[in-house]
Amino acid sequence: MSTYKVPTMAEMAAKGENPEVLFWVGCAGSFDDRYKAVTQAFVKILNKVGVSFAVLGPEETCTGDPARRAGNEFLFQMQAVPNIQVLNGYGVKKVVTACPHCFNTIKNEYPALGGNYEVIHHSQFLQQLINEGKVVLQGGGEFKGKKITFHDSCYLGRANNVYEAPREVIKALDVELVEMKRCRTKGLCCGAGGAQMFKEPEPGKKDINVERTEEALATGAQAIAVGCPFCLTMMADGVKNKERENDVKVYDLAEMIAKDMGI
């Protein structure tokens, strides 16, 4: 029996190797206690399937997304330019990330600063692995037959038109996918985008995540699936606010797949 491997680009380069894909972990995936579990689940899947991958490890920094959305273009570029230097230095061609904000920034905004890569979100990567038969799901795991709803992340959905990949991944689990009233192009934000994650909301009648959670709960779903660290936090907080954390769980797609694979 062998243990899971998490190679860094630096280690790979020292051995003269170049992985097929770089897994961009992101700040939430690195530091947020809840989202670290998602990072770990995704890395386990990559190991199990035998994908040639590496991470930047300590060399990674924030993509700069929240700074740019909060208006601080200078700080954004102070993060982005060195990141691009590191990525280009390693000759990275393909990037996969479990964060739609990192995904959007690296895919759409790094090219203007000289960073050109094929960037995919982990939902798309998982869908490819399932379609290629590399991830074989048991279909009889703890999710079988359960009602699950998917919350569209704005930066995956409207921002980049990725609506079906996460749904295909969920459907592969042999579950009943139920849609919220507002879904796909009409999906309601969790409330964290545009750097809102890092400040209190402006004065209003209600918190956005509570509004969205009510909508998710109204579907009667036993679990809420997300594909974004900020959405995960916001929806989990919303479920707690509604005192439903005992019967409704919030999962990332990678966690659901890993659970089904028994890893």
136 binds other proteins (CB under 8 A): no
Q: What distance in Å separates the CA atoms of residue 157 and residue 31, rounded to the nearest whole number? A: 25
118 binds other proteins (CB under 8 A): no
> Where does this chain touch other proteins (CB under 8 A) — which range of 65-73, 117-125, 128-136, 239-247?
65-73
Exactly one of 13, 51, 86, 113 binds other proteins (CB under 8 A); that residue is 113
CB 12 within 8 A of CB 91: no
**Least spacing, CB of residue 203 vs other proteins, in Å:** 7
141 binds other proteins (CB under 8 A): no
Residues whose CB is less than 8 angstroms from the CB of residue 200 and which lie 6 or more positions away in sequence, other chains included: none
Cα-flanking dihedrals φ and ψ of residue 227, to 5°?
-135, 30
Which DSSP category does 101 fall into?
Answer: H
- Placement of tokens 């809420």 in the chain: 224
CB 185 within 8 A of CB 160: no
**Least spacing, CB of residue 57 vs other proteins, in Å:** 4
64 binds other proteins (CB under 8 A): yes
- Length of the chain equals 263
Cα-flanking dihedrals φ and ψ of residue 45, to 5°?
-60, -45
Q: Which of residues 20-39 bind other proteins (CB under 8 A)?
A: 25, 27, 29-32, 36, 39
**Least spacing, CB of residue 97 vs other proteins, in Å:** 14
Nearer to other proteins, 69 or 94 (CB): 69
88 binds other proteins (CB under 8 A): no
Strand 249-252 with 223-226, pairing: parallel
Exactly one of 13, 51, 57, 137 binds other proteins (CB under 8 A); that residue is 57
> Where does this chain touch other proteins (CB under 8 A) — which range of 52-60, 125-133, 172-180, 250-258?
52-60
Query: Judged by CB under 8 A, how many residues of this single chain contact other proteins?
Result: 81
Exactly one of 102, 192, 223, 231 binds other proteins (CB under 8 A); that residue is 192
Q: Which of residues 156-175 bind other proteins (CB under 8 A)?
A: 158-161
Task: Reduce the secondary structure of 184-244 to three states and give it as a string.
Answer: HHHCCCCCCCCCHHHCCCCCCCCCHHHHHHHHHHHCCCCEEEECCHHHHHHHHHHHHHCCC
263 binds other proteins (CB under 8 A): yes
Radius of gyration of the chain (CA): 18
196 binds other proteins (CB under 8 A): yes
214 binds other proteins (CB under 8 A): no
86 binds other proteins (CB under 8 A): no
